[in-house]
Amino acid sequence: MLRFTLRRILQVAPTVVVVALLIFVIFSVVPGTFAVSLFADGKRAADPQLIARLNEEFGLNKPLMERFVTYVTDLARFDLGTSFRTRQPVVDLISDRMGASLQLSVAAMVFAIVVGVPLGFLAALRPGSILDTTTMIGAISGLSLPDFWFGLLLMYLFALQLNWLPSFGYGDGSLRNLILPAVTLGVAPLALLARTTRAGVLDVLNADFIRTAHSKGMSEAKVVRWHVSRNALVLIVTTVGLQFGSLIGQAVVIEKLFAWPGIGSLLVDSVAIRDIPVVQGTILVIVLWFLIINTAVDLVYAAIDPRIKQE
């Protein structure tokens, strides 16, 4: 197990290097700079001397290779640079927002697990029933509906019409402010979990060892508890991990829609004003988060099914 863990951790490093390289190259060739974006509102005439001075201050007039060496050197020291707009370290800006993003992602994932997994189990145990049909229709709808549209619908119903919940904002970080964005973000993984759980449980129920367990007189409850649940757990854990790892990236639209102060809204705001160090740092953190969760899922997967360690 230790050898498998070390191998998976070592596989993360080259991925991070490649992603960092791609991020730098992409945002180095994108037209426009922070200095130019200051005059993008059209209310002030662009001063070429001021733009040149700002580009020199931010090091944007240096050769591409020199900027790349500086970028890689800073990354090796865990330095993501300094924001053009606020002149604060990018690490501090992301740290201030990361807590809100994690809170939203965890709440959305808990909602998806608590609702999606039991629905998938019950639908699989009663195939063809009204519950099964309703669950699958709901799952397909949840995967098909755009997040921002569903969020606007919830906002209109529960905030504007019923006045039960605040429509947007972090507030004091209470549960009331968290419910609408968490449910909006959690609908898609909930739908996927319900379908995945149903498929996994049905696959296990049709296996030969389940029929053997029934033939030995084992009750349905014991079969589900000791055989079906454990064997279906591998697929469920994999789905949960992959969805949780990608939720922070998926939350970009939701955070902006609900004015949630996470790194997703920070990313959108920074892209709009060409604050490249913040954009690069935020994307790198989102990718690193996904890789960490993906690695953790592989380790849990190997613990559940020891055969994985031999591959």
- 79-88, 182-191, 218-227, 302-311 — most confident range: 182-191
Contact (Cβ atoms closer than 8 angstroms) between residue 242 and residue 51: no
Q: Whose structure tokens read 């757990």?
A: 233
- Give the residues across from 82 on adjacent strands: 89
For the stretch 4-43, pLDDT in tens is 667 767 777 788 888 888 888 887 777 666 666 666 555 5
Residue 252 scores a pLDDT above 70: yes
User: Phi and psi of 277, rounded to 5°?
Assistant: -55, -40
Q: Using alpha carbons only, what angle is made at residue 45 by residues 42 and 49, rounded to the nearest 5 degrees?
A: 135
Task: Dig out the tokens for 79 from the structure.
Answer: 């330095």
Rg of the Cα atoms in the chain: 24
Compute the average pLDDT of residues 198-216.
74
Q: Is the CA virtual torsion 282, 284, 287, 292 positive or negative?
A: negative
pLDDT for res 181? 92
CA 101 to chain CA centroid, Å, is: 9
Residue 80 scores a pLDDT above 60: yes
pLDDT for res 270? 87
Please give the mean pLDDT across all residues of the chain: 81
What is the pLDDT confidence band of residue 106, given thresholds at 50, 70 and 90?
very high
pLDDT for res 257? 87
pLDDT for res 114? 93
Residue 305 scores a pLDDT above 70: no
Residue 110 scores a pLDDT above 90: yes
Count of positions (residues) in the chain = 311
- Virtual torsion, Cα 182, 188, 189, 192, nearest 10 deg: 160
Beta carbons within 8 Å of 160's beta carbon, 6+ residues apart:
167
Residue 221 scores a pLDDT above 90: no
95-104, 205-214, 267-276, range with the lowest pLDDT = 205-214
In the chain, the percentage of residues whose pLDDT exceeds 90 is: 10
What is the pLDDT confidence band of residue 46, given thresholds at 50, 70 and 90?
low
Query: What amino acid is encoded at 262 in this protein?
Result: G
Contact (Cβ atoms closer than 8 angstroms) between residue 112 and residue 304: no
- Residue 140: C-alpha distances to residues 16, 184, 299 (Å): 34, 15, 30
2-6, 91-95, 112-116, range with the lowest pLDDT = 2-6
Residue 126 scores a pLDDT above 60: yes
In the chain, the percentage of residues whose pLDDT exceeds 70 is: 82
Neighbours of 43 (CB within 10 A): 6
What is the pLDDT confidence band of residue 109, given thresholds at 50, 70 and 90?
very high
pLDDT for res 38? 65
pLDDT for res 301? 66
For the stretch 156-188, pLDDT in tens is 898 888 888 888 777 766 788 889 999 999 999
